[in-house]
Amino acid sequence: MLASVTGSVTSLIGDHGLYAVFGLMVIAAVLPAASELTMLYAGALAAGAFANAHVIAFGHTLHTQFGAYAAISLAGLAGNLVGGAGGWALGRYAEKGLERHGKVLHLTPARLNRAERWFARFGRIAVPVGFTTPGIRSFVAIPAGVARMPFPRFFPLAGIGCAVFCFGLAAVGWAVGSSYGSVRRYLDYVVIAALVVLVGYVAARWRSSRLPRSGPDPAG
């Protein structure tokens, strides 16, 4: 099944280039849709790693590797932001529907409640870190809307996280070229490391919030 998904993603990008990257990253903002593979493969494509495969933008072939890399990365970023905005709106204005049908998006009422508490406490850092982190980045936009995070705050924070992810993963794919498949095997370790750091940060914040605050010295 994994091979089938991989083949479908690479075929779409190979056949439709920037449009496929944009569309896949729209979906990946709210559903696990192989965003890591999308940007890695797109970066390798920009590097010219595949014979007779080129990055085409609006009918014009991009002949420079840097131009192709920039176009691929911007397409991924734009798609992720469009999907993220849609996910935020879904969480903000369709919360009741999510409570009934959220399982389709892997969002149960319990998860939505946890997400609301999470964003109430860690909203500012949760969005950019979440969108940067493989594996959990598809579960950020909708909970942010459910948690009533203001859109003018959400969107730029999402842009930071999405930009780091899209430009970073495309750069890795561009650097390794046709060996992108080998690099993808190490993404699991990246996910684990990122989650450990994130959990450690949250645990430290939670512990510090429970420590008694020292008041003014009565003797002073």
pTM over 0.85: no
Instruction: For 128-178, write each residue's pLDDT tens digit.
Output: 988 988 877 888 888 888 888 899 999 999 999 999 999 999 998 888 775
- Determine the Cα–Cα distance for residues 184 and 190; give it in Å rounded to an integer: 10
**Distance in angstroms between the alpha carbons of the first and the last residue of the chain:** 69
Instruction: For 49-83, write each residue's pLDDT tens digit.
Output: 776 777 777 777 777 888 889 999 999 999 999 99
- Here the tokens at position 203 are 């645990």
- Residue written as token pair 């969480």: 91
Instruction: For 157-167, write each residue's pLDDT tens digit.
Output: 999 999 999 99
- Here the tokens at position 3 are 């091979």
Please name the helix (run of DSSP H) or strand (run of DSSP E) that holds residue 57, with its range, or none: strand 56-57
**Cα 120 to the chain's mean position, in Å?**
20
- Here the tokens at position 65 are 């590797």
